[in-house]
């Protein structure tokens, strides 16, 4: 693919990189274009990432071979909005068009995942590559996997070679790629994706997806940017969800959560934190000796459930998760998980939205306020829009179904 010189190597621990990433995440709220500076080779676990002066970025790892030959696997991407992500194999044995490769990804928590591909072209450096959407299964499984086995059928007397690679560090490498290319919070990010359009504009592109161009030999970043289909839009941002001040902190690995918060999610709420943390990240807000954590529990397309935990670093025995009410007529117990939970650290208010349609045009909206004396939350209003009519807009504008004012009547 694109050759790049990287004379320097930088190593980050996960905590050090999260601090660096947080600064970029706040800046991304006001600037969404890709950076112009070259990124020297930076190492995360078994992976490294580097970007040239055109912001074409490559994450790479070395592997072992059944025939004791050099092998590397790369995940690479150009800087253009919506550009494809390429998974590239680079063995030592000569490749040829038509050769088949199989990638089997092993995971501790899921069944193994297999991908088959045929080389349609051999690129400079003896490489075969497979391109596609940033959120396709192959990329997601690589991010969440433990290790992978690659088999290439060379045919004839050469036969099939097997290569093994480790996947530790890939998520952080791809997060660095998102940061360097200015994709933080955008729909086309690989890891740090959010509701911003891929091109950084205010308007959301609509229409049928456009076919992606095939990668060029020396300039694979020249790929047509796909447009988001009408039923794959981000949810509307509500007036009360003002992110201009930025998230106080973000972490993307389970190890960076306080142990007590980990146990709340894993043992009590049956969360899949090893999946959700790399995908969405957990937010934390520190005020004095108290930390508030907003943690995604399980993966979902439209309705991601979060829990809210209060952590006291000097005395974790006081840590607790928060529970939230439902309208009295529902006769339901309080719940710890809130879909699309949003926490305003300045007011202490918590809101949640449950969408009943992939078009984000109907569902329910709940608003909770903290009671000063107890620190617990009480439901103050509940909105519901039952007609999924294609009319989108902030859920705060949906019809009022219940309000705490009814309790005084």
Angstrom distance (rounded) from CA 386 to CA 42: 50
Long-range CB pairs of 155-164, under 8 A, 24+ apart, other chains included: 155/99, 158/93, 161/65, 161/66, 161/67, 161/69, 161/91, 161/93, 162/65, 162/66, 163/63, 163/64, 163/65, 163/66, 163/71, 163/73, 163/91, 164/63, 164/64, 164/65
> Which residues are paired to 295 by β-bridges?
307
CA 97 to chain centre: 34
pLDDT tens for residues 153-206?
Answer: 999 999 999 999 999 889 888 888 988 998 887 788 888 776 678 776 543 333
pLDDT of residue 359: 82
Cβ(186)–Cβ(177) below 8 Å: no
Every domain of the chain and the residues it spans: 9-180, 250-408
pLDDT, mean of residues 219-232: 41
What is the CATH number that goes with domain 9-180? Answer: 2.60.40.1880
> Residue 141's closest CA among 14, 339, 253, 149?
149
Q: Which is more confidently placed, 125 or 406? A: 125
User: Is residue 247 predicted with pLDDT exceeding 90?
Assistant: no
Determine if the pTM surpasses 0.85.
no
Mean pLDDT of 236-253: 61
46 closest CA partner among 61, 34, 68? 61
Is pLDDT above 90 for 211? Answer: no
Distance between CA atoms of residues 280 and 96, nearest Å: 39
As given in the structure block, the two tokens for residue 145 are 């996997």
Sheet containing 377-385, strands listed edge to edge, beginning at the edge strand earlier in sequence? 342-343, 350-355, 363-370, 377-385, 400-403
Residue 308 pairs in a beta bridge with 294
**pLDDT, tens digit (0-9, with 9 covering 90-100), for 333-360:** 899 999 999 999 888 899 999 999 878 8
Q: How is residue 172 written in tokens?
A: 């952080």
- Please tell me the total number of residues recorded for the chain in this structure: 409
Please tell me which residue, 253 or 197, carries the higher pLDDT value: 253
Contacts of the segment 322-328: beta carbons below 8 A, 24+ positions apart: 322/350, 322/376, 322/377, 323/376, 323/377, 324/350, 324/352, 324/366, 324/368, 324/377, 324/379, 325/368, 325/377, 325/378, 325/379, 326/366, 326/379, 326/382, 327/379, 327/382, 327/401, 327/402, 328/402, 328/407
Q: What confidence score (pLDDT) does residue 407 get?
A: 65
pLDDT above 70 for 230: no
CA distance 20 to 220: 28
**pLDDT, position 219:** 43
Kindly provide the b/e burial profile for residues 244-259, where b requires at least 16 CB atoms within 10 angstroms of the residue's own CB: eeebebbbbbbebbbe
Mean per-residue pLDDT, 117-133: 92
For 346, half-sphere exposure in the C-beta direction (CA atoms, 13 angstrom radius) is 8
Task: Give the DSSP H or E segment for 22.
Answer: helix 14-28
Identify the weakest region by mean pLDDT among 61-75, 89-103, 226-240, 244-258.
Answer: 226-240
Residues pairing with 162 in the sheet: 151
Q: For 297-316, what is the mean pLDDT?
A: 91
């Amino acid at each position: 693919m694109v050759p790049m010189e990287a004379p320097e190597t930088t190593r980050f621990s996960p905590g050090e990189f999260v601090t660096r990433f947080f600064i970029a995440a706040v800046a991304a709220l006001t600037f969404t274009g890709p950076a112009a500076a070259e990124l020297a080779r930076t190492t995360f676990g078994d992976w490294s990432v580097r970007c040239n002066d055109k912001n074409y970025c490559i994450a790479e790892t070395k592997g072992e071979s059944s025939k004791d030959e050099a092998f590397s696997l790369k995940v690479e991407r150009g800087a253009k909005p919506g550009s494809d992500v390429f998974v590239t194999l680079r063995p030592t044995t000569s490749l040829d068009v038509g050769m088949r490769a199989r990638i089997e990804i092993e995971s501790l928590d899921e069944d193994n995942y297999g991908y088959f591909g045929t080389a349609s072209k051999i690129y400079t450096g003896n490489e075969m590559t497979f391109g596609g959407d940033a959120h396709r299964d192959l990329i997601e499984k690589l991010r969440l996997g433990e290790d992978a086995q690659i088999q290439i059928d060379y045919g004839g007397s050469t036969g099939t070679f097997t290569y093994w690679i480790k996947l530790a560090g890939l998520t952080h490498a791809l997060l660095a790629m998102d940061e360097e290319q200015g994709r933080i919070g955008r729909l086309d990010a690989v890891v740090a994706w959010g509701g911003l359009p891929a091109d950084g504009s205010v308007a959301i592109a609509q229409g049928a997806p456009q076919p992606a161009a095939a990668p060029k030999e020396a300039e694979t970043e020249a790929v047509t940017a796909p447009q988001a289909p009408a039923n794959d839009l981000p949810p509307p941002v509500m007036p009360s969800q003002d992110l201009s001040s930025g998230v106080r902190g973000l972490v993307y690995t389970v190890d960076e959560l306080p142990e007590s918060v980990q146990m709340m999610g894993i043992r009590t709420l049956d969360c899949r934190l090893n999946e959700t943390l790399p995908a969405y990240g957990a937010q934390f807000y520190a005020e004095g000796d108290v930390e508030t954590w907003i943690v995604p529990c399980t993966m979902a397309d439209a309705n991601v459930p979060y829990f809210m935990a209060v952590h006291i670093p000097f005395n974790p025995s006081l840590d607790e998760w928060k529970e939230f009410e439902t309208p009295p007529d529902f006769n339901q117990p309080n719940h710890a998980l809130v879909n699309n939970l949003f926490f305003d650290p300045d007011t202490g208010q918590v809101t949640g939205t449950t969408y009943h349609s992939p078009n984000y045009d109907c569902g329910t909206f709940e608003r909770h306020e903290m009671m000063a004396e107890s620190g617990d939350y009480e439901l103050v209003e509940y909105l519901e829009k039952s007609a999924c009519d294609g009319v989108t807009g902030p859920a705060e504008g949906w019809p009022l179904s219940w309000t705490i004012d009814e309790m005084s009547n």
